[in-house]
Amino acid sequence: MRNLIELPAGVRPTLAVFASDKGPGDAERASIMSQVGTYFARKGGRIVCLAEGKSIAIPLVTSARAAGGEIVVIGDDKFSLPRALAGVPLEQLADADARHARVAALADAFVGLPGSLASISALYLSWLKAGGGPGGKPVVLYNRNRAFEVLRGYSADILAHSIPHHERLVQFADTVEDLWTRANRLAGEGRARQPG
C-alpha cells in the first residue's frame, strides 16, 4: 500500500461518494456532481472518491476542493490524477478488493449519485467490504429523476426480509440538501453504534 492517507477523526462525516460522468446525460450528471461536491464541502463533510480505470468524478472533486472541502481519492497503482486535480490526496492500491476495503474503512456512509451501473456496482462492493447490512454503515441514494426507483423497490422487497431495520441503512433522497441531511444523520448514528 502506498500513499496511505489518514483522514482526521472528528464529528464531521466522511462520505464515500460514487458517481459517473460517462454516458447519456453527461451534462446533468456533471451538474449534480458539482452541486453535491460544493454542498457537502460547505457543510464540512469529507469526501472519499474511488477512481476506476482512468475515470474519476472530476466535477465532484473540483467543486468540493473549490469550496474548501477535504477529499481523498483511492485509485489503482497505475492511476494518476489529471493536472486539474494536482494536490488532491491520492491513495494507490493495486488490488481492487483492497481499494473497496479502503473506501469502506474510511467511510462513515456511502452516497450514490445518478450515474452508471459501474458506479452503483462500486458502491455495492465497497458497502459489502464494510460488512453490508450487518456492518451498519448506511447508504443514501440521490433519486433524481427516479434514477434509483428499481433499487428502492429491491430494498423494500428483498432487504426487508434479510436485513433488520433496512430502512435505517438504505435511504433515498430527492434533493441535494436532503441527501446531505440523511447521510450526515445516518453517519452520526452509525458512529454512535460502533464500539470504542
The CATH code of the domain that includes 48 is 3.40.50.450
Question: From the centroid of its chain, how far is CA 145?
Answer: 19
* Residue from 142, 153, 166 nearest 17 by CA: 142
Among the residue ranges 23-32, 47-56, 122-131, the one predicted with the least confidence is 23-32
Total number of domains constituting the chain: 1
Q: At 40, phi and psi to the nearest 5? A: -60, -40
103 falls within a domain: yes
Residue 108 and residue 187 in contact, taking contact as beta carbons nearer than 8 Å: yes
Q: The domain containing residue 150 runs over which residues?
A: 14-193
3 falls within a domain: no
Residue 70 and residue 94 in contact, taking contact as beta carbons nearer than 8 Å: no
Dihedral class, residue 25 (left if φ above 0, else alpha if ψ from -120 to 50, else beta) = left
> Which string of DSSP letters, residue by residue, matches 118-158?
HHHHHHHHHHHHTTHHHHT--EEEE-GGGTTHHHHHHIIII
Q: How confident is the model at residue 8 (pLDDT cuts 50, 70, 90)?
A: very low
User: Does residue 188 surpass a pLDDT of 60?
Assistant: yes
- Its pTM stands at 0.89
The cell numbers describing 168, all together, are 435505517
181 falls within a domain: yes
User: In this structure, is the dihedral angle defined by the CA atoms of residues 172, 18, 126 and 110, taken in order, positive or negative?
Assistant: negative
The cell numbers describing 18, all together, are 460514487
Q: How confident is the model at residue 5 (pLDDT cuts 50, 70, 90)?
A: very low
